[in-house]
Amino acid sequence: MSDKVKEGIIKKINELSPLLISIAKEIHKKPELAFEEDFASGLLTSALKRHGFKIEKGVGGLKTAFRAAYTKGSSPVIGFIAEYDALPEVGHGCGHNLIGPASIGAAIALAKSGLKGRIVVIGTPAEENGGGKVILSKKGVFKSLDVAMMVHPSNDTEIVKRALAAIDVTVEYFGKPSHAAATPWDGANALDAMILAFNNINALRQQLKPDVRIHGIITNGGAAPNIIPAYTSARFLVRALEMKDAQEVLKKVKTCFNAAAHAAGVKIKIKVGENAYEAFRPNYPLAEAFERNLKLLGVKIRKWDEYKELGSSDIGNVSQIAPTIHPNLDICHKQIPHHTKEFNAIAGSESGMRGMLIAAKAMAMTGADIMMDAGLLKRIREAHKRG
Ligand SMILES: [Zn+2]
Ligand SMILES: [Zn+2]
């Protein structure tokens, strides 16, 4: 039974391939930045609608977010996540033009498989800038999903990859201006406080665990060299493998900021961003099911290295709510870094399209495994509970 269903899914995605490729290429040609992805979300939702999905636009208060559902029974609820935002200057240098079509291809093929359950596509704007999934998570958009799946195009195939929790923090120092040569003693130097803050943090680093990252930029460093700077500001990111560790480090970073204000005799304001990225919580039974399907499709997979080149992604927030996979799939076959013009070219190429179709097939086949095997869903749920 399982083999027949999977053969049907592969056949269906091959039939859908002209549509999926044309959507991926259209989105590639018209890159849209975070929260402005009207064209991409329109293309994806109209294809889903034509295939019998019920569409809800603007979910979670984001105009380019959507939920599309196909119902044939109430359980399980198989979720596919679509991203479609681009980057300034390098267009689809992260390949998100391939993520949406792969997810809707998987959803449509699974809907046509005749298996019982609910198939849901969540359209999630602004992965690159703004954390769309963080906002949607707070609005409860992922709560009903039994699993959430998406595949990210990459220069390597990695089934499970960790992502760091990341907290955004801004610091501002308020001093007193004065002529830097004539009356420097009348000033209070907000730039001195800022430089001390960076040095305090650099001193802190030796006592931090290796997974912690603290990095920042000065966004305002003063007006002119002959004026004692009265105002400075900086933006930092504090990251760690677990949110609770990032929170602990944040406390120490705040102490560094405050000590600097004290030393320089200036006032301080610290603002912690509301949309922190959660760490990625892996789900091994789900990831292993996906890996088996990817192998069935002939994809070669190296040994997993979950901790290689860690970054952060708003999929972390989804993974804390529902069992989630976010595998990387190699579309380059050589080392081309993300967020470059070269990766943008690959994301619009035949190799990108091939990867997108493989991603769609492997995700749909994994959805079918869960719909056909209650034991697998149980193992996925138990693993999620264990955390
Ligand atoms: Zn990306
Ligand atoms: Zn990216």
What is the pLDDT at residue 110? 98
What is the pLDDT at residue 387? 83
* Other residues' Cβ atoms within 10 Å of the Cβ of residue 383: 17
* Other residues' Cβ atoms within 10 Å of the Cβ of residue 59: 17
What is the pLDDT at residue 1? 64
- Judgement on whether residues 216 and 118 belong to the same structural domain of the protein: no
Q: How far is the CA of 312 from the centre of ligand 2 (A)?
A: 10
The residue out of 272, 295, 320 marking a domain boundary is: 272
- Judgement on whether residues 243 and 146 belong to the same structural domain of the protein: no
- Judgement on whether residues 344 and 202 belong to the same structural domain of the protein: no
DSSP state of 217: E
- Judgement on whether residues 158 and 197 belong to the same structural domain of the protein: no
Phi/psi at 179 (nearest 5 deg)? -65, 125
In what order do the strands lie in the sheet containing 267-272? Answer: 213-220, 231-240, 165-174, 267-272
Closest CA to 349 of 13, 102, 90, 98: 98
Q: How far is the CA of 339 from the centre of ligand 2 (A)?
A: 6
- Judgement on whether residues 288 and 372 belong to the same structural domain of the protein: yes
Q: Would you write out the chain's pLDDT as a tens digit for each of its 387 residues? A: 679 999 999 999 999 999 999 999 999 999 999 999 999 999 999 999 999 999 999 999 999 999 999 999 999 999 999 999 999 999 999 999 999 999 999 999 999 999 999 999 999 999 998 899 999 999 999 999 999 999 999 999 999 999 999 999 999 999 999 999 999 999 999 999 999 999 999 999 999 999 999 999 999 999 999 999 999 999 999 999 999 999 999 999 999 999 999 999 999 999 999 999 999 999 999 999 999 999 999 999 988 899 988 999 999 999 999 999 999 999 999 999 999 999 999 999 999 999 999 999 999 999 999 999 999 999 999 999 998
* Other residues' Cβ atoms within 10 Å of the Cβ of residue 113: 23
Q: How far is the CA of 128 from the centre of ligand 1 (A)?
A: 7
CB 125 within 8 A of CB 132: yes
Q: How far is the CA of 48 from the centre of ligand 1 (A)?
A: 22
The residue out of 272, 293, 324 marking a domain boundary is: 272
Q: How far is the CA of 338 from the centre of ligand 1 (A)?
A: 8
Q: How far from the centroid of its chain's Cα atoms is residue 114's Cα? A: 31
Ligand nearest to the CA of 124: 1
Q: Give 247-279 pLDDT, tens digit per residue.
A: 999 999 999 999 999 999 999 999 999 999 999
- Judgement on whether residues 102 and 177 belong to the same structural domain of the protein: no
* Other residues' Cβ atoms within 10 Å of the Cβ of residue 276: 23
Distance CA 13, CA 75 (A): 23
- Judgement on whether residues 50 and 126 belong to the same structural domain of the protein: yes
Q: Which residues contact 347 (CB under 8 A, 6 or more apart)?
A: 28, 92, 93, 94, 95, 97, 98, 153, 331
Ligand nearest to the CA of 99: 1
Q: How far is the CA of 330 from the centre of ligand 1 (A)?
A: 13
Q: How far from the centroid of its chain's Cα atoms is residue 302's Cα? A: 23
Q: Which residues contact 374 (CB under 8 A, 6 or more apart)?
A: none
Ligand nearest to the CA of 128: 2
Q: Which residues contact 221 (CB under 8 A, 6 or more apart)?
A: 191, 194, 229, 232
**CATH number, residue 67:** 3.40.630.10
Q: How far is the CA of 177 from the centre of ligand 1 (A)?
A: 43
- Judgement on whether residues 69 and 7 belong to the same structural domain of the protein: yes
Distance CA 293, CA 7 (A): 12
The residue out of 272, 287, 302 marking a domain boundary is: 272
What is the pLDDT at residue 2? 79
Q: Give 96-114 pLDDT, tens digit per residue.
A: 999 999 999 999 999 999 9
- Judgement on whether residues 308 and 264 belong to the same structural domain of the protein: no
Q: How far is the CA of 24 from the centre of ligand 1 (A)?
A: 15
Q: How far is the CA of 96 from the centre of ligand 1 (A)?
A: 6
Closest CA to 277 of 242, 309, 253: 242
Residue 298 gets the label, from left (phi > 0), alpha (psi -120 to 50) or beta, of left
What is the pLDDT at residue 7? 97
Q: How far is the CA of 369 from the centre of ligand 2 (A)?
A: 30
What is the pLDDT at residue 108? 98
Q: How far is the CA of 295 from the centre of ligand 2 (A)?
A: 26
Phi/psi at 324 (nearest 5 deg)? -135, 145
Closest CA to 137 of 28, 276, 13: 276
Ligand nearest to the CA of 339: 2
**CATH number, residue 260:** 3.30.70.360
Tell me the H-state helices in 169-268: 190-204, 243-264
Q: Write the DSSP string, 123-161.
A: E---TTTT-HHHHHHHTTTTTT-SEEE--EEESS-BS--
Q: How far is the CA of 129 from the centre of ligand 2 (A)?
A: 9
Number of structural domains found in the chain: 2
Q: How far is the CA of 325 from the centre of ligand 1 (A)?
A: 14
Q: How far is the CA of 323 from the centre of ligand 2 (A)?
A: 22
Q: How far is the CA of 377 from the centre of ligand 2 (A)?
A: 30
- Judgement on whether residues 48 and 155 belong to the same structural domain of the protein: yes
Q: How far is the CA of 293 from the centre of ligand 2 (A)?
A: 25
pTM for the whole structure: 0.94
Q: Give the domain extent around 140.
A: 2-163+279-386
Q: How far is the CA of 338 from the centre of ligand 2 (A)?
A: 7
- Judgement on whether residues 81 and 156 belong to the same structural domain of the protein: yes
- Judgement on whether residues 35 and 158 belong to the same structural domain of the protein: yes
Q: Which pairs from 200-205 meet CB under 8 Å and 24+ separation? A: 200/255, 200/256, 200/257, 200/259, 200/260, 201/236, 201/253, 201/256, 204/252, 204/253, 204/256
Distance CA 252, CA 81 (A): 36
